[in-house]
């Protein structure tokens, strides 16, 4: 790393992942080209994994089946400091392997957790929304194989 003083502990990187609700998933597409997309997710610390949803018919789904090795980054608290030509930030980067959840009951539980993360308190419509999308959505699990983080707050 160019500036090792910006490195943070694995625990701090996990805390960043836990507080963010979106990040950027990088993979290899069907043609072998780099492909990155923003995704919503939630962290399951006990499973050492990130979970996300996607369409079962999309480019991301097809690419991840062909090339399950991925990289994912979440960035929090960015602030550009114009007069100093720097950016204050904190980020977490993981590498891992994607697998897809096949069991419908497990998918329902995980979709409920994703809904709670992204739309906390919206309980009334949650079951009908999950019922509406359960057959069209895939739930991906990124098993975290490595994690690192950086922070620049050079006050």
Q: Does 154 fall in a domain?
A: no
Q: Does 95 fall in a domain?
A: yes
| Pair of tokens at residue 57 | 């018919």
Confidence of residue 155 (pLDDT cuts 50, 70, 90): low
The DSSP bridge pattern shows strands 34-40 and 49-55 to be unpaired
The domain tally of the chain equals 1
Q: Does 155 fall in a domain?
A: no
Q: Which of 26-30, 31-35, 113-117 has the lowest mean pLDDT?
A: 113-117
Question: pLDDT above 90 covers what percent of the chain?
Answer: 70
Furthest-apart CA pair in the chain: how many Å? 53
Pairwise CA distance, residues 93 & 8, whole Å: 11
pLDDT in tens, 113-142: 998 888 888 778 888 889 988 999 999 999
pLDDT at 1 over 60: no
The CATH number given to whatever domain includes residue 129 is 2.30.110.10
Pairwise CA distance, residues 113 & 128, whole Å: 15
Using CA atoms, how far residue 153 sits from 84, 91, 97, 120, 137, in Å, is 12, 12, 31, 30, 39
pLDDT at 152 over 90: no
The residue range of the domain holding 35 is 4-148
pLDDT in tens, 103-115: 999 999 999 999 8
């Amino acid at each position: 790393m160019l500036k090792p003083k910006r490195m943070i502990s694995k625990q701090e990187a996990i805390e960043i992942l836990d507080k963010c609700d979106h990040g950027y998933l990088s993979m290899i597409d069907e043609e072998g080209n780099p492909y990155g997309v923003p995704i919503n997710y939630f962290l399951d610390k006990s499973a050492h994994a990130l979970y996300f949803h996607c369409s079962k018919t999309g480019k991301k789904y097809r690419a991840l089946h062909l090339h399950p090795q991925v990289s994912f980054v979440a960035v929090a608290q960015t602030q550009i400091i114009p007069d100093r030509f720097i950016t204050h930030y904190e980020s977490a980067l993981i590498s891992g392997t994607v697998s897809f959840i096949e069991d419908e009951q497990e998918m329902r539980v995980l979709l409920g957790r994703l809904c709670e993360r992204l739309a906390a308190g919206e309980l009334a419509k949650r079951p009908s929304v999950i019922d509406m999308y359960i057959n069209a959505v895939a739930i991906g699990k990124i098993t975290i194989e490595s994690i690192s983080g950086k922070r620049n707050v050079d006050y």
